[in-house]
Structure formats: C-alpha cells, structure tokens
Amino acid sequence: MFDVSSVTKRYFDIKMKDLVLQLEAPSLSTMKKILYLTREINESAMEDLEEAVGIILNKNTAKYEISKEMINDELDFDQLKAIVLRFLQWVLTNKQSPN
C-alpha cells in the first residue's frame, strides 16, 4: 500500500533583499487559484497578480507574513512575474518526480 506520508516534502527557496523563505508546495485548490489569477498578465490583472504572489509567499515554513504593502513596495512587475513563473515551474517539476 502506498503511504502518502512517505512522500518527501520539498521547498522552494526564495530571497527578497535580506529575507529568505522556504515556500511549501501548494494544495490543488491553491494551485488552481494561482493559475486562475495569473491567466493573463496585463494592467487590469495587477491586483490578481499581487494576490497570487501573496498566496505563494505566505505559504512559507517560517510562517512569516508578507503584506500587500511589502509586495507593492519591494517588488517590481518583472519580479512578481518571475516569482509566479519560477514557482509554477518548480511545482510542475516536483510533481513529475516519483517522490
């Protein structure tokens, strides 16, 4: 019998200035929300992008809270896009591995 608890947890390391976080893999419902929020990146989707990055960054092992102000003031648009894209690449790569 396959024991789900035997699956090794993996973390996505991210550094923002002096802050280093280990992000946990999202649940399926969270992943669907992130994908929905980032479906189209344009001016009208900026709030959705901000929310998606907030969801991603706030699921960290340190339980460190990333505020909207921190996202708005410390990250530029290219950095926001890069966080989402790299995180999604990491999730998909890890989902394809056997553990």
**38 DSSP 8-state letter:** T
For residues 81 and 49, the answer to whether their CB atoms sit within 8 Å is yes
Given a cut of 80, is residue 95 above it in pLDDT? no
Structural tokens at position 73? 């003031």
The overall average pLDDT reported for the chain is: 84
List, in order, residues 6 or more apart from 11 with CB less than 8 Å away. 22, 23, 24, 61
User: Residue 29 sits in a domain of what CATH number?
Assistant: 3.30.2220
Please determine, for residue 99, whether its predicted confidence score (pLDDT) is greater than 60: no
* Reported pTM: 0.66
Cα dihedral 36, 40, 46, 49 sign: positive
Q: How confident is the model at residue 67, as a pLDDT?
A: 95
40-93 pLDDT, tens per residue?
A: 655 566 788 889 999 999 999 999 999 999 998 888 877 888 899 899 999 988
**Number of independent structural domains in the chain:** 1
The boundaries of the domain holding residue 91 are: 4-96
Q: If pLDDT is split at 50, 70 and 90, which confidence band does 15 have?
A: very high
